[in-house]
Amino acid sequence: MTHALITGGAGFIGSHLAERLLKDGYQVTVIDDLSTGQFKNIAPLEGRPDFRYAIEDIRNSTVMDRLVSECDIIYHLAAAVGVQKIITEPINTIEVNIGGTEVVLKTARRYRKKVLIASTSEVYGKGVSFPFEEDNDCLMGPTSRNRWAYATSKAIDEFLALAYHREIGLPVVIFRLFNTVGPRQSGQYGMVVPRFVQWAMKGEPIRVYGDGQQSRCFGNVLDVIDAIQRLATMSDGVGEVFNIGSSEEISILQLAERIIERTDSPSEIKLIPYAEAYEPGFEDFRRRVPSTEKIKRATGWTPTTSLDTTIDQMIAYYKEHEING
Ligand code: UDP
């Protein structure tokens, strides 16, 4: 039986991944400090003989040494995430993202374990050629803007992982996640879709930042996990970087309208200036579109769930569960 260690396994994506791996017959261990992850995400798995967890910071190298020595493969998802959180906690963002990945890779090297590293579309920065391909240049903004600390910290994670691969042959695979959404996601840290769905369901104003003409592609979390698992189980692809995301592009204003329509909500749309929403000088991305040709060529994966279906799944989830921000 393959034993997987998921860092950040109590988070939105990590907990869905844990469920999928258990379904596939893996033994699963989760490490999560519950900074943005929530215990309730893994509570239904508690008590299973094939599942265990450690509530701990991944920078605790003693704990990580034990967990890594006992597993066959590591899915490294633990990171400081969420634009809102990144803006208000820049020290934590940099230290967790760089320090955490350093511990994961050092420990993986000790026991020579395969590591899947979660990165982000933020590393493309202000890329201007669409769709984003893995080998495109990354164009960061100035160090005086907090947002770029997140992108840069994840770019360093990628450099470090690729260096471990090139210098000592550690089997690493990096995946860059584009906007990923689905049931269980919290809106507390800034993510737009869970926020809009919950505001619409409560009949509260939908707060669209800027002019609402910026666009994103929102991928369904279960599609994304399928992509991660294809990368984890294929024999080649080590030392490579892959985009994972949807190609269905929508402006944030259209997203608000779509969600109002699907929830049949009386909510009004309010345009809020970026400086008021985040911080003065905040830089948003106008567009962010992945090329998924590389992962398709390597694994045959393409996203299959439409945004409407995902929104409906989220509405159904929030009807059953407590609204979470
Ligand atoms: N956004 C918004 N209202 C919110 C939260 C986000 O209009 O309450 C916008 C945000 O400015 C961005 C888009 O929605 O243009 C996606 O934001 P999110 O934080 O979900 O992801 P990211 O910016 O990392 O793509």
CA of 192 to the centre of ligand 1 (A): 5
* DSSP H stretches of helix in the chain: 12-23, 39-42, 61-70, 83-88, 90-94, 100-111, 147-168, 192-202, 221-233, 252-263, 274-277, 293-299, 307-320
List the CATH number of the domain containing 126. Answer: 3.40.50.720
The pLDDT assigned to 324 comes to: 62
Q: Is the CB–ligand 1 distance for residue 184 below 6 Å?
A: no
pLDDT tens for 82-98 read 888 888 999 999 999 99
Cα-atom radius of gyration of the chain, to the nearest Å?
Answer: 19
Q: Is the CB–ligand 1 distance for residue 154 below 6 Å?
A: no
Q: Is residue 269 part of a domain?
A: no
Q: Is residue 325 part of a domain?
A: no
Active site residue 26: no
The pLDDT assigned to 54 comes to: 98
Q: Is the CB–ligand 1 distance for residue 190 below 6 Å?
A: yes
Q: Is residue 135 part of a domain?
A: yes
Q: Is residue 15 part of a domain?
A: yes
The pLDDT assigned to 128 comes to: 82
pLDDT tens for 177-214 read 999 999 999 998 889 999 999 999 999 999 999 999 99
Averaged pLDDT of the chain? 96
Q: Identify which of 169, 173, 161, 179 has the alpha carbon closest to the alpha carbon of residue 82.
A: 179
Q: Is residue 283 part of a domain?
A: no
Q: Is residue 300 part of a domain?
A: yes
* pTM confidence score: 0.97
Which residue's CA is minimally distant from atom 21 of ligand 1? 191
> Cα 60 to the chain's mean position, in Å?
22
Q: Is the CB–ligand 1 distance for residue 208 below 6 Å?
A: yes
CA of 210 to the centre of ligand 1 (A): 10
Reading across the β-sheet that carries 51-55, which strands appear in turn? 51-55, 27-32, 3-7, 73-76, 114-120, 172-177, 240-244
pLDDT band at 323 (very low <50, low <70, confident <90, very high): low
The pLDDT assigned to 86 comes to: 86
Q: Identify which of 71, 97, 85, 56 has the alpha carbon closest to the alpha carbon of residue 18.
A: 71
Closest approach atom of ligand 1 to CA 179: 25
Which residue's CA is minimally distant from atom 3 of ligand 1? 208
pLDDT tens for 94-112 read 999 999 999 999 999 999 9
The answer to whether residue 325 scores a pLDDT higher than 80 is no
List Cβ neighbours of 269 (8 Å cut-off, separation of 6 or more): 205, 206, 208, 212, 253, 256, 257, 260
| Number of domains within the chain | 1
CA of 274 to the centre of ligand 1 (A): 10
CA of 299 to the centre of ligand 1 (A): 30
Which residue's CA is minimally distant from atom 6 of ligand 1? 192
Among 26, 150, 209, 278, the one annotated catalytic: 150
Q: Is residue 313 part of a domain?
A: no
Q: Is residue 37 part of a domain?
A: yes
Instruction: Give the other-Cβ count within 10 Å of 298's Cβ.
Output: 16
CA distance 139 to 274: 21
CA of 190 to the centre of ligand 1 (A): 7
CA distance 25 to 261: 40
CA distance 201 to 267: 8
Percent of the chain with pLDDT over 90: 90
Q: DSSP secondary structure string, 157-222?
A: HHHHHHHHHHHH---EEEEEE--EE-TT--STTS-HHHHHHHHHHHTPPEEEETTS--EEEPEEHH
The answer to whether residue 147 scores a pLDDT higher than 90 is no
Closest approach atom of ligand 1 to CA 285: 15
**Which residues span the domain enclosing 237?**
3-180+221-246+290-304
The one-letter code for the residue type at 218 is F
pLDDT tens for 245-266 read 999 999 999 999 999 999 999 9
Report the pLDDT averaged over residues 50-70: 98
